[in-house]
Structure 1
Amino acid sequence: MGLPAIFAVAVMVAIVMVASPCAEAKTTIEPCSGSDSCPALLGYTLYADMKVSEVAALFAADPSALLAANALDFAAPGAAHRILPMGLFLRVPTACACADGVRKSVAVRYAARPADTLATVADVVFAGLASADQIRGANGLADADADAPLDAGQRLVVPLPCVCFNSSDSNLPAVYLSYVVQVGDTVPAIAAAYETTVTDIMNVNAMGSPVAAPGDILAIPLPACASSFPKTASDHGLLVANGTYALTAGNCVQCSCGPGNLNLYCTPASLSRSCPSTQCSNSNVLLGNASTHATSAGCNVSSCSYGGFVNGTITTLLNTGLQPTCPGNSCC
């Protein structure tokens, strides 16, 4: 496994300071140009009990998208107000943009609270995803002491690490997770947890050896389901990490990926009160469903799949095929 050569060459490792002047942490940086972005995930460990809506607000994310990225039920009553326990690890969705010649997430704006310092904002509130130096540089605070209290209400830009690498890994669709290495972590254990290999992680992060220190930020490729919607669709390029789902078409369609396979499977969602029709044309089959009809030649199967959200319309595709027998029928 590993990055295609054209992307592996582009990887460079930058050294940034975190926690204390004596501790250095590494993070993988992807040089870029242009104004494009890609979907990415931030690995975040809660520093306190927090509501879903609070975590979403902290990262300028949509609560429903946060629930979807963690395979949590968005339709449950009060889902956005669900309290998540301290220490819980979450995947936070973000748009990985190109800014200042490198990939990063630049959407977060944080309002300092009483007793906050640059160090506590970086290490506690954002759980090591940013360093005090990075926050200092992004806000023109060159002379600010990392341990000095900030003014309450002071607004800070918090740049967060992410990569795109063409949303692929070994020429297969992938979404990249920015993972902060914890005390006790090993690269083999991280690879096993995310169903990849040590070699792949080393290639993606340009590592000379399979060793990572606490505080290092690794880019972890997660297998994903890719869509093939037309460019006219507002959700063209939809990419969903394995084991998660995404809401699209104005929260009217839920597209899931795995587990078990990497084929995108879309069904009507119940989040929006008013949605366009999800019925396939010239049929009575609804999106995500199938109908069967036994014939002398076998079983005709018609299924309705999602084709993208175009000009406010949920595009559907009717697929037909012939199987030897219909589900539930046994051969005589």
Structure 2
Amino acid sequence: MKQMESPPLSLLSLLSLLSLLSVLLAILLHFPLPSTAIPFTCNTSKTPTCQSLIGYIPTNKTTYSSLKFLFTIKSIRTLFSANNLSPSTRSSTSIPAGSTVRIPISCSCSAGSGYSSGRPIYVVKAGDGLDSIARNIFGGFVTYQEIAKANNISDPNLIEAGKRLLIPMPCSCDPVDGDSVVHYAHFVAAGSTVSSIAESFGVSQNVLLRINGIKDPKDLQAGQVLDVPLRACSSSISNSSLDHNLRIPNSSYALTAKNCVLCSCSSTTWQLECRPTQGIGNNSCPAAKCGSLFIGNSSVSACGTSTCSYAGYNAGSIFTSLNNHSTCNGTNGSGPGPGSPEKNGCSSRLRVGWMIQTPVMLLFVVLVFFGLLCNEIS
């Protein structure tokens, strides 16, 4: 018996099939997929707020101005300083796709986790879904669940165009092993290992595993967001200063004291090095000096060196401290500096030395005189 051939697919049936496939595809693209981002541990009570960093990787070519807008950064100079760029860099400077840009994040600790404080704010566009916002726009540093929770959204699939969303980026303010650090959110690329990441950022592999709750280095996954603690420079900033929480890692700087002072981190001494800026966009900076010595400068004397260091600021003043390094008596200290009898070990030694040497010299002269006299008598 001759087998009957199947009738050709009608145009109407084909259109129906294509329509069904498009609906299924739209559902798959809009349906939230699991993400590997997890909140960072943040339990500190001494410093509940701080500055953290995000290693953002744009998928398309962009500019610093666009990133300032996307992450709701108040001053573009903050973005420049985090990436060690000159304050005079043009905001329209191009950023290639796939490059890493350090995004400064104001961090706040709450209930054992750290999230960005009040920023960034994203305005929903037509066709946006929470998962696409988390993955495609903010680089996978946040999950759709976290966005929904931060904005009290009960159904992630029902968001309206024009709605303003708080994007809770991961961060932390916790010290690590008693040291102040700057927490950096790092997106793990394919092929990365814990050892290679630890080496590239100059951190201990064991510390990296511990603070991220990873028991086995083999458990590291591509797309995971790691908390990398970057070593921060120590400073002389007073606890009463408005910027007492200032933490700066290597390869970056910060404009502080209302843009009147620029501070950077020395990778050799790991001390904060600050200098006056003469006021970037501000011509009314208060004096930043120790007497006649500007901050960041040193004076050299026979007794050692004295350096004027930045110690913070308040509404109308810049604080300084004079740090003395003495080579006369082997001690270091802070005080009035060269010329002061209380701190100048060099001048004290000269006085003591003269007091000891004078009687000896007089005795020597007397003995010589009596020797000559005896020779004349004999």
Instruction: Give the TM-score taking structure 2 as reference length.
Output: 0.71
Partner of 2:282 in structure 1?
273
- Mapped to 2, the partners of 1:136 and 1:259 lie a distance apart of 41
Q: How much has 1:251 moved relative to structure 2?
A: 0.8
Query: Would the aligned equivalents of 2:37 and 2:142 in 1 still touch at CA under 8 Å?
Result: no
Q: Aligned pair 1:75/2:82, yes or no?
A: no
Query: Would the aligned equivalents of 1:42 and 1:179 in 2 still touch at CA under 8 Å?
Result: yes
Distance verdict in 2 for CA 1:26–1:109, change over 3 Å: closer
Q: Aligned pair 1:63/2:62, yes or no?
A: no
Partner of 1:30 in structure 2?
41
- Mapped to 1, the partners of 2:248 and 2:262 lie a distance apart of 11
Q: Aligned pair 1:262/2:252, yes or no?
A: no
- Mapped to 2, the partners of 1:194 and 1:271 lie a distance apart of 31
Distance verdict in 2 for CA 1:187–1:99, change over 3 Å: same
Query: Would the aligned equivalents of 2:37 and 2:143 in 1 still touch at CA under 8 Å?
Result: no
- Mapped to 2, the partners of 1:206 and 1:216 lie a distance apart of 12
Partner of 2:155 in structure 1?
143
Distance verdict in 2 for CA 1:20–1:289, change over 3 Å: farther
Partner of 1:318 in structure 2?
322
* Partner SS, residue 38 of structure 2: strand
Q: Give a deviation string over 1:142-192, Cα, whole Å, max 9, x none.
A: 2232xx8x5432211111111222xx2222221111112122222111111
CA RMSD of aligned residues (A): 2.5
Query: Would the aligned equivalents of 1:182 and 1:214 in 2 still touch at CA under 8 Å?
Result: yes
Partner of 2:307 in structure 1?
303
* Partner SS, residue 290 of structure 2: coil
- Mapped to 2, the partners of 1:292 and 1:98 lie a distance apart of 45
- Total equivalences in the alignment: 293
Distance verdict in 2 for CA 1:307–1:22, change over 3 Å: closer
Letter in 2 for 1:74: P
Partner of 1:182 in structure 2?
189
The higher-RCO structure (CA 8 Å, 6+ apart) is 1
* Partner SS, residue 214 of structure 2: coil
Query: Would the aligned equivalents of 2:129 and 2:156 in 1 still touch at CA under 8 Å?
Result: no
Q: Name which one, 1 or 2, has greater alpha-carbon Rg.
A: 2
* Partner SS, residue 79 of structure 2: helix
Letter in 2 for 1:292: V
- Mapped to 2, the partners of 1:292 and 1:100 lie a distance apart of 51
Identity of aligned residues (%): 31
Partner of 1:44 in structure 2?
56
- Mapped to 2, the partners of 1:266 and 1:216 lie a distance apart of 36
- Mapped to 1, the partners of 2:288 and 2:44 lie a distance apart of 39
Letter in 1 for 2:88: A
* Partner SS, residue 127 of structure 2: coil
Query: Would the aligned equivalents of 1:43 and 1:92 in 2 still touch at CA under 8 Å?
Result: yes
Q: How much has 1:287 moved relative to structure 2?
A: 1.5
Query: Would the aligned equivalents of 1:226 and 1:238 in 2 still touch at CA under 8 Å?
Result: no
Distance verdict in 2 for CA 1:101–1:224, change over 3 Å: closer
* Partner SS, residue 291 of structure 1: strand
- Mapped to 1, the partners of 2:53 and 2:245 lie a distance apart of 16
Partner of 1:8 in structure 2?
none
Query: Would the aligned equivalents of 1:38 and 1:97 in 2 still touch at CA under 8 Å?
Result: yes
Letter in 2 for 1:69: A
Unaligned runs of 5+ in 1: 1-18, 325-332
Query: Would the aligned equivalents of 2:32 and 2:130 in 1 still touch at CA under 8 Å?
Result: no
Instruction: Give the TM-score taking structure 1 as reference length.
Output: 0.80
Partner of 1:153 in structure 2?
162
Letter in 1 for 2:147: I
Kindly report which structure 2 residues correspond to 1:1-332, keeping only aligned pairs within 5 A, or say none. Answer: 23-30=34-41, 32=43, 36-61=48-73, 62-76=75-89, 78=90, 80-99=91-110, 102-107=113-118, 108-145=120-157, 151-165=160-174, 168-210=175-217, 211-269=219-277, 270-274=279-283, 275-281=285-291, 283=292, 285-293=293-301, 298=302, 300-323=304-327
Give the number of the structure whose residues are more often strand, by fraction.
1
Distance verdict in 2 for CA 1:319–1:140, change over 3 Å: closer
Give the number of the structure whose residues are more often helix, by fraction.
2
Query: Would the aligned equivalents of 2:295 and 2:308 in 1 still touch at CA under 8 Å?
Result: yes
Distance verdict in 2 for CA 1:200–1:246, change over 3 Å: same
- Mapped to 1, the partners of 2:69 and 2:223 lie a distance apart of 24
- Mapped to 2, the partners of 1:159 and 1:21 lie a distance apart of 17
Query: Would the aligned equivalents of 2:123 and 2:162 in 1 still touch at CA under 8 Å?
Result: yes
Q: How much has 1:245 moved relative to structure 2?
A: 0.9
